[in-house]
Amino acid sequence: MNNESKTLVILTPGFPESEADSTCLPMQQNFIKVLKKNNPNLKIIIISFHYPYHKNTYEWFGIPVISLGGKNKGGMVTFILRYNANAALNKINSNTRISAILSFWYGECALAGHRFTQQHHIKHYCWLLGQDARRGNKYIKLAKLKANELIALSDFLQDEFERNYRIKPLHVITPGVKKEFTDDAAGRRDIDILGVGSLIPLKQFDIFLNILFEIKKQMPAVKAVLVGNGPVKEKLQYLIREYDLQQNIVLTGQIPYDDVLKMIQRSKVLLHPSSYEGFSGVCQEALSAGAHVVSFCRAMKHEIENWHIVTGKEEMTKKVIDILQSTNEYDPPKFIFSINDTAKAFAMLI
């Protein structure tokens, strides 16, 4: 990006309702903050379609946010939402010429961004961030974005999208972490196994508990923490009782992002049994804090030190036990990508 003043509009399904809302899209929050810091002449405006659940215009760390209050409703609300999004874009463009639009996920935001940019001959990029690359995404046929408009979060998502839709996203921009996150990374490691994520079927935390049960047979005092909330919470609580793990695991529910980072810094292994993942930010955060990561999903084609990709429950169990029985309790941070690199890569496009 050159030094001239430009305006970037970011379209997103949700955005923090205030500066204190740290749990809503933490990677995207960090990305936008660093993008603005690195490019002080860049004017950024956020349009959030569904969350916060009210119509409002407010500032978030000096960045204007327009909340459309869609509340994830369908039917007639969808058409009203599209109309309001287009009206907001037209108003912004009349006040300050939009240089580019970035849509988070290939969904309603990407469709709105595509239609507006086609009409006004503006650059548009859609950042594929996860499940939007899977088969059955109806917005692919509606928007028909070209390869040069698509940014994949990982090598895996680039390949997944090409496999499902025969279009290979031209760009890959990975998520990153803030290096200052690791200031206290060499502190105490009193959590053996950590899990972080929404308590939904996709994340497969029932496997997490099954593996913990197997590990307990060899390591009775093993300590685990599971961070998150969601619809399968009661099922997981039932499994904890069934496996007699009440003394081995704590379910924290949803906690502030900074507290999640502190948990990561206290952990030896991040166990991430999700069945599908674009590029989990928490895996990078764990590596950057000196923890090991064990998961089923491979984000990048190249090997990443201390990130162990396994193919089944037995292999996952064995790998976690091997790590916990190792004499090396703390490994140096493994920085794969920094959030600064993420922001710089995107700035090159606009």
Q: What digits encode the pLDDT tens for the residues 168-222?
A: 999 999 998 876 554 454 567 899 999 999 999 999 999 999 999 999 999 999 9
Q: What digits encode the pLDDT tens for the residues 280-303?
A: 989 999 999 889 999 999 999 999
pLDDT of 97 higher than 60: yes
Give residue for tokens 């961004």.
113
The CA radius of gyration of the chain, in Å to the nearest whole number, is: 21
pLDDT band at 152, cuts 50/70/90?
A: very high
pLDDT band at 66, cuts 50/70/90?
A: very high
Q: Which residues pair with 298 in a beta bridge?
A: none
- Give every CB contact of residue 273 below 8 A, 6+ residues apart in sequence: 195, 203, 204, 205, 207, 208, 211, 295, 296, 316
pLDDT of 115 higher than 90: yes
Listed in order, strand segments (DSSP E) in the chain are 6-14, 42-51, 55-60, 63-68, 100-104, 123-128, 150-152, 171-172, 191-196, 224-227, 249-253, 267-272, 292-295, 307-309
Q: What digits encode the pLDDT tens for the residues 198-213?
A: 999 999 999 999 999 9
Percent of the chain with pLDDT over 70: 95
All domains in the chain, ordered by first residue: 6-177+339-347 (3.40.50.2000), 183-324 (3.40.50.2000)
pLDDT at position 248, please?
98
pLDDT of 328 higher than 80: no
Among the listed residues 313, 327, 286, the one whose alpha carbon sits nearest the alpha carbon of residue 213: 313
Q: Which residues pair with 129 in a beta bridge?
A: none
